[in-house]
Structure 1
């Protein structure tokens, strides 16, 4: 009977150790991250071992495989069973400690191929311990299955093959990818929660002071009806809900989330560097050449790191990197790619290629159509503020009563002192400052249209120039933006009309009017002279206006206003009379 038990245990334990060792050897970096978690201050407090975690990971993986082989062969049975017993006692203690104190949520016994909870892992180790004890006490039944002279050569070849395999996966990537970010995975789908998925359940312990005595009432979330003074509440998770395979991935910068934006793009290259201080210098030089080529081919290239902005700036300067970096959780980056730096190719959020920097020359970079520029949220925010300032005192000028003035002041954020000030003086100061800023934007970005800052922010720069003395300088840029549909062309038409009126020439679209004084002290409102006035309504339609010149004139000067065609000579006469 004992012989049968030993025979079964021998095969079972050997198979389990071989499987466990090979799975972890396929991804020694991943196993080293798990060891670092165990060595950390909050678990075993053995941080001095963290620097050699990778070396220990490779050693333990190979040792598991070799012990599994020697057990199957029946080679060195005493050494084998003592080794097995020592390992299983240590791992049983470790998994119990982890489970009982809730220190490490996944033991890493089988890597990402078979994740186990701490208690599942402890149970597995207890079962293994039983089988290994059978082997220990029945080791005399562990007999060789091949000639003994062949054993050491089999072990030697196996050891050499394990070393070669470990070196290969470290220099490239794991041969078998069991992680949530394997090739073919759509990240957005991996983050989604299926309809009807179980939700987390919580127990709420409400504390009340009832007649001087503390009482605790437990509910599933609803506030209890108690005649007493509320003290506090404690929450405990009863049952964990559905957790999607990908739950910690985000692309962020300056407090803004760009995840959805980049997951919608067709051709994206992610340069993954979880820690810039640990990134390999040779790899950084390779990445520089690859990213320059990728951008030239039309790809969107971004870096993902958990390092600080200061570290990013230093690396960009040292290696002359021309792509932007975004922040992503370090654990997520380590999970995505076992390379620092490494390369991930995305197509609408689907991972199509993953490469170690050593294999950068294998990345396929066909010529692609560049995506539309992403929304610059920082610039958008600034331009939105500029647009509000542009209208601040102009809106106050429209107030007809004190009550209306006070209401508008609150709306535009004007202080009481500003509401009583010289509006034109204050607005001119704002306009001057706004113009200087917008000129800087033009120099850096060109016109900030809808593809760069979205709508309606794309109109902000137009308003500033429309209210400045720089129309003649920037009208060509504004026209180009209109032709590219970066701003509505009707705004281009309005600016062109203002430019022409300022030069004393006929306008084209009839958007500009003027008011003159008269001998009777009654103002004379006119639509500035229009070139080919008979066909102006056709031009207005093409420019995007939905009103005729007659309708527009009434909107400008009131329902009783009757549109009249003026010539430049007539306007000159009105000017002379008004003076």
Structure 2
């Protein structure tokens, strides 16, 4: 697994893409002497390489894109439900069921389209495909950005209810354009895609000026071969193993305890710079420095109300590590205890337990007892004592309703064949084993333990958090004193002896 741990911004990325595009354009000049429109050639290379790069960082983690698509589908369903277009709302839950397949196809298409731009394959078709894809991107990022103007409880299409922009109104907080490699604010993503519309439109009208590399047969072979290899690569990064390149904050070697503490401390130390006030009558906004407001707030109490404040940036940037929270089955926060656990701990992660539930009926014997009092005479003491005795009066069968859990057999087999043997070996060697589940409660866990035979401690956490930690269900994470040592897809879990020899010191 490759870990990339450096900071990058969109301007730096675009600068890098621009430099690579310049080098590619120079190479085209050497290869294709007949090319005359160098603006076209540069735009081909710039947009092509941008698509190849943005697609590749998503291909390394296709489940991340799948989860992002589910967020979009969920928001679209909610949005369309409250309009005259409600008939299409049920489509989106269906699409969510195929989010992984859509993600793989989408990412592969993006990379192959970028390659087609660079080599000039099928010029007219490529121009139209690029235009359509950029329009789709612009729609998605534009929708995400504009939801910032839609207050809680209002529908996107009720334009009269739109209010001042507030980032907290957005249900999808980033577009996922570059996966977890680079998080962009929706506004920035939207303007990026608007910018890409210009070369997209330019290609439609001047596609004949596009440069072409190699012969048509070679270009066709490259496209077909790339498509096949990319499909295999994408599938391998979630079906057969976890992503080989990890851009997420819970990467191997991350000291979660130390970093999380630093982030939380930094957030608790932010200072309020100014206050945003709104006039009760005409809705005028006023921004006052904190010191001035604290000194004069009495004079604003009757006519103004506080609607927001502006704070300093935390000294340590907030990441998903700040959201790491583990609870016991009673809902008590045990995060600190979990991260402060000394020694090695195996964490079994399941963001979703796979089962169906139904109400069932079982017959119980409802027994009625008859209580009576008798006098007992003791021969030795010649004393008489009173005793209460019970006898069965009647036994009547009765129906009792209960929740029956029907577990997915293939899913349970993963635990019986892979997880339980590992857990048993770890426990016998003094390594703690804890399971952290998404959406679990005591009844579900009790049933789950019965069918799997797992005799370990169970906890619960947010399913999105667990998806971020490891892209496998179930997945295995080895911790040591609050630090992630390694993690595995359930299909790649080694024996405990192999694990111990490589990672447990």
| Same fold (TM > 0.5) | yes
Alignment partner, residue 354 of structure 2:
277
TM-score (norm 1): 0.58
In the alignment, the residues of structure 2 paired with residue 36 and residue 347 of structure 1 have an alpha-carbon distance, to the nearest angstrom, of 33
Secondary structure, counterpart of 2:214 in structure 1: coil
* Alpha-carbon contact 1:201-1:241 (below 8 Å) kept: no
Q: Give the total of aligned pairs.
A: 366
Distance apart, 1:145 and its partner CA:
0.7
Distance apart, 1:144 and its partner CA:
2.2
Q: For 1:438-474, what per-residue CA distance to the aligned partner results, in whole angstroms no more than 9, with x for missing partners?
A: xxxxxxxxxxxxxxxxxxxxxxxxxxxxxxxxxxxxx
Deviates more, 1:175-184 or 1:66-75: 66-75
Secondary structure, counterpart of 2:37 in structure 1: helix
In the alignment, the residues of structure 1 paired with residue 202 and residue 298 of structure 2 have an alpha-carbon distance, to the nearest angstrom, of 59
Give the 3 Å change call, closer, same or farther, for CA 274–232 of structure 1 in structure 2.
Answer: farther
Query: How do residues 321-340 of structure 1 correspond to structure 2 at under 5 angstroms?
Result: 321-340=454-473
Give the 3 Å change call, closer, same or farther, for CA 217–63 of structure 1 in structure 2.
Answer: closer
Give the 3 Å change call, closer, same or farther, for CA 234–56 of structure 1 in structure 2.
Answer: farther
* Alpha-carbon contact 1:190-1:244 (below 8 Å) kept: no
Distance apart, 1:361 and its partner CA:
1.8
In the alignment, the residues of structure 1 paired with residue 274 and residue 412 of structure 2 have an alpha-carbon distance, to the nearest angstrom, of 48
Alignment partner, residue 65 of structure 1:
111
Query: How do residues 84-103 of structure 1 correspond to structure 2 at under 5 angstroms?
Result: 84-102=130-148, 103=170
Q: Does 1:257 align with 2:291?
A: no
Alignment partner, residue 31 of structure 1:
65
Alignment partner, residue 134 of structure 1:
202
Q: Which of these two proteins has the greater Rg computed from alpha carbons?
A: 1
In the alignment, the residues of structure 2 paired with residue 164 and residue 100 of structure 1 have an alpha-carbon distance, to the nearest angstrom, of 36
Alignment partner, residue 11 of structure 2:
none
Gaps of 5+ in 2: 1-34, 81-88, 149-169, 356-407
Distance apart, 1:150 and its partner CA:
1.4
Q: Does 1:353 align with 2:486?
A: yes
**Counterpart among 343, 366, 370 of residue 500 in structure 2:** 366
* Alpha-carbon contact 2:352-2:437 (below 8 Å) kept: yes
Secondary structure, counterpart of 1:334 in structure 2: helix
Query: How do residues 503-522 of structure 1 correspond to structure 2 at under 5 angstroms?
Result: none
Q: Does 1:268 align with 2:348?
A: no
TM-score (norm 2): 0.66
In the alignment, the residues of structure 2 paired with residue 307 and residue 63 of structure 1 have an alpha-carbon distance, to the nearest angstrom, of 34
Q: For 1:179-238, what per-residue CA distance to the aligned partner results, in whole angstroms no more than 9, with x for missing partners?
A: 0000010112221237697556563537779xxx99987654748544797699553254
In the alignment, the residues of structure 2 paired with residue 150 and residue 308 of structure 1 have an alpha-carbon distance, to the nearest angstrom, of 54
Secondary structure, counterpart of 1:256 in structure 2: coil
**Counterpart among 258, 263, 280 of residue 189 in structure 1:** 258
In the alignment, the residues of structure 2 paired with residue 136 and residue 216 of structure 1 have an alpha-carbon distance, to the nearest angstrom, of 45
In the alignment, the residues of structure 2 paired with residue 314 and residue 134 of structure 1 have an alpha-carbon distance, to the nearest angstrom, of 61
Give the 3 Å change call, closer, same or farther, for CA 2–189 of structure 1 in structure 2.
Answer: farther
Give the 3 Å change call, closer, same or farther, for CA 305–241 of structure 1 in structure 2.
Answer: farther
Give the 3 Å change call, closer, same or farther, for CA 96–74 of structure 1 in structure 2.
Answer: same
Distance apart, 1:343 and its partner CA:
0.4
- The structure whose residues are more often strand, as a share, is 2
**Counterpart among 232, 249, 266 of residue 180 in structure 1:** 249
Deviates more, 1:155-164 or 1:7-16: 155-164
Q: Does 1:301 align with 2:440?
A: no
Alignment partner, residue 203 of structure 1:
275
RMSD: 3.0
In the alignment, the residues of structure 2 paired with residue 100 and residue 136 of structure 1 have an alpha-carbon distance, to the nearest angstrom, of 28
Distance apart, 1:133 and its partner CA:
2.1
**Counterpart among 295, 310, 322 of residue 247 in structure 1:** 322
Give the 3 Å change call, closer, same or farther, for CA 358–135 of structure 1 in structure 2.
Answer: same
Secondary structure, counterpart of 1:89 in structure 2: helix
Alignment partner, residue 308 of structure 2:
236
Query: How do residues 211-226 of structure 1 correspond to structure 2 at under 5 angstroms?
Result: 219=288, 220=290, 222=294, 225-226=297-298
Distance apart, 1:4 and its partner CA:
1.5
Secondary structure, counterpart of 2:494 in structure 1: helix
* Alpha-carbon contact 1:297-1:366 (below 8 Å) kept: no
Query: How do residues 105-144 of structure 1 correspond to structure 2 at under 5 angstroms?
Result: 105-144=173-212
In the alignment, the residues of structure 1 paired with residue 115 and residue 271 of structure 2 have an alpha-carbon distance, to the nearest angstrom, of 45
Q: For 1:147-185, what per-residue CA distance to the aligned partner results, in whole angstroms no more than 9, with x for missing partners?
A: 111122111111111111122111201010000000010
Give the 3 Å change call, closer, same or farther, for CA 116–147 of structure 1 in structure 2.
Answer: same
Secondary structure, counterpart of 1:321 in structure 2: coil
Alignment partner, residue 122 of structure 2:
76
In the alignment, the residues of structure 1 paired with residue 145 and residue 493 of structure 2 have an alpha-carbon distance, to the nearest angstrom, of 41
Distance apart, 1:252 and its partner CA:
1.3
Give the 3 Å change call, closer, same or farther, for CA 73–225 of structure 1 in structure 2.
Answer: closer
In the alignment, the residues of structure 1 paired with residue 483 and residue 300 of structure 2 have an alpha-carbon distance, to the nearest angstrom, of 55
